[in-house]
């Protein structure tokens, strides 16, 4: 090795050590963050040290996650990485495809073996425990199925549709499956999914509402009867946060409002709070503006309406239902909204206590696949 090679090697080593030293010092000097606005998630905190955790290996993995989450300028590094990937022609980042026309589309991952069978066993057990409860299941296909023409050419298609077919075939006899794929697919050019978020738009929710009315014998409110208002055009959703793709346009959020809105009382049971609106307009100032609908996710929400028909509905759901439920308030005197991820009480007892006769289980395909709480319907 000649003298110049030695000098170059020394310089590179010094630069590397300086880089490590500077960023190490910055990491120590800067306070840990609890939440990432750009990723819209809680960040890992320093794990407590214990000999048991070290021996089991959990401390090492938790510490690695902590360092990754708290690394200085993390958000900028993520943006730089996705920019570099785009330059190289890559169109997938962290399970999110960069699709055509600015669409970010979440990849559907097949469930582990036996998961669907366990969920169906829980649904069957709940069905047997509540024989007088009419049950409707709506598992909503995501943009990966409805907007296949927006996916990159290498993206696999059909996996989610096959999963939904398995769900439909596996449901216990007597439970009504509400298939909304044809309705969403037929109107797919009418902005039925957000471009930067995994949720359907209010338009998509309305199309599904029309399908549910057919199954439940309800007379739907016509779209012409709503005053459709755009409440923001600065919505960067969950897929924007998750993927790191930053060179996309924000979404707009619309509300379908009645000119003479029905009187309601909304009670958030866990928080002990009440309001007279299904919309939390203050949340438009937050990163996750989708929380304008029903103020985000809660264990139990009770909606009392001005209807005198004494019809009561239980909605077991994920966040897709938050923009869907406003269409139902003119059909029921009471609606009980349960998110099993945050609900710890006996669901069958809730049904019996309030003499509820109709139930809608509403999930998107990804959440239904990945949410283990569905297996605990009777716990």
Q: What is the DSSP string of 275-290?
A: ES-SB-GGGGGSS-GG
Does this model's pTM top 0.95? Answer: no
Instruction: Please list, in sequence order, all residues whose beta carbon lies within 8 angstroms of the beta carbon of residue 313, skipping any fewer than 6 positions away.
Output: 328, 331, 332, 334, 335, 336, 356, 358, 359, 360
- Averaged pLDDT of the chain: 87
Q: Do 128 and 68 fall into the same domain?
A: no
Q: Do 94 and 152 fall into the same domain?
A: no
pLDDT band at residue 371 using 50, 70 and 90 as cut-offs:
very high
Given 101, 126, 144, which residue is the final one in a domain? 101
Q: Do 130 and 231 fall into the same domain?
A: yes
Q: Do 158 and 94 fall into the same domain?
A: no
Give the highest mean pLDDT range of 35-49, 143-157, 349-363: 349-363
Question: Is the pLDDT reported for residue 138 higher than 80?
Answer: yes
Question: Is the pLDDT reported for residue 84 higher than 60?
Answer: no
In Å, how far from its chain's centre is CA 152?
22
Q: Do 122 and 253 fall into the same domain?
A: yes
pLDDT tens digit sequence for 219-233: 999 999 999 999 999
Domain count, the chain: 2
Q: Do 118 and 39 fall into the same domain?
A: no
Range of the domain at 57: 3-101
Structural contact between residues 209 and 180, judged by C-beta atoms closer than 8 angstroms: no
In Å, how far from its chain's centre is CA 318?
7
**Residue 24: in which H helix or E strand, if any?**
helix 3-29
Q: Can you tell me the distance from the alpha carbon of 83 to that of 79, in angstroms, rounded to the nearest whole number?
A: 6
In the chain, the percentage of residues whose pLDDT exceeds 70 is 79
pLDDT band at residue 296 using 50, 70 and 90 as cut-offs:
very high
Q: What is the dihedral of CA 327, 271, 359, 372, to 10 degrees?
A: 120
Q: Do 56 and 117 fall into the same domain?
A: no
Question: What's the pLDDT score for residue 217?
Answer: 97
Question: Is the pLDDT reported for residue 10 higher than 70?
Answer: no
Q: Can you tell me the distance from the alpha carbon of 186 to that of 13, in angstroms, rounded to the nearest whole number?
A: 60
Q: Do 218 and 135 fall into the same domain?
A: yes
Q: Do 69 and 115 fall into the same domain?
A: no
Q: Do 129 and 93 fall into the same domain?
A: no
């Amino acid at each position: 090795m000649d003298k110049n090679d030695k000098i170059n090697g020394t310089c590179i080593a010094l630069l590397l050590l300086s880089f490590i030293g500077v960023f190490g010092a910055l990491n120590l000097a800067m306070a840990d963050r609890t939440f990432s606005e750009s990723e819209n998630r809680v960040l890992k905190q320093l794990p407590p040290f214990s000999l048991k955790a070290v021996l089991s290996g959990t401390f090492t993995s938790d510490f690695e996650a902590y360092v990754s989450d708290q690394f200085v300028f993390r958000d900028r590094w993520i943006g730089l990485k996705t920019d570099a990937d785009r330059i190289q022609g890559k169109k997938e980042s962290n399970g999110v495809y960069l699709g055509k026309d600015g669409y970010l589309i979440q990849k559907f991952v097949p469930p582990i073996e036996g998961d669907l069978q366990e969920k169906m066993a829980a649904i069957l057990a709940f069905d047997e425990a509540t024989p007088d409860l009419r049950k409707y299941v709506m598992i909503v296909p995501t943009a990966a199925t409805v907007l296949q023409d927006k996916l990159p050419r290498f993206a696999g298609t059909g996996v989610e549709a096959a999963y939904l077919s398995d769900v439909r075939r596996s449901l216990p006899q007597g439970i009504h499956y509400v298939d909304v794929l044809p309705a969403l697919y037929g109107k797919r050019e009418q902005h039925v999914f957000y471009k930067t978020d995994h949720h359907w738009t209010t338009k998509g929710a309305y199309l599904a509402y029309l399908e549910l009315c057919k199954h439940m014998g309800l007379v739907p409110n016509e779209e012409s009867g709503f005053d459709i208002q755009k409440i923001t055009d600065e919505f960067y959703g969950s897929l924007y946060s998750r993927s790191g793709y930053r060179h996309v346009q924000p979404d707009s959020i619309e509300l379908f409002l009645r000119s003479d809105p029905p009187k309601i009382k909304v009670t958030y049971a866990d928080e002990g709070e009440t309001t007279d609106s299904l919309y939390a307009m203050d949340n438009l100032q937050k990163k996750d503006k989708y929380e304008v609908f029903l103020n985000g996710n809660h264990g139990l929400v009770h909606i009392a309406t001005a209807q005198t028909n004494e019809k009561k509905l239980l909605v077991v759901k994920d966040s897709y239902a938050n923009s869907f439920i406003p269409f139902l308030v003119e059909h029921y005197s009471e609606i009980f909204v349960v998110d099993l991820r945050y609900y710890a009480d006996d669901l069958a007892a809730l049904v019996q206590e309030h003499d509820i006769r109709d139930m809608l289980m509403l999930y998107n395909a990804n959440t239904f696949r990945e949410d283990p709480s569905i297996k605990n319907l009777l716990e």
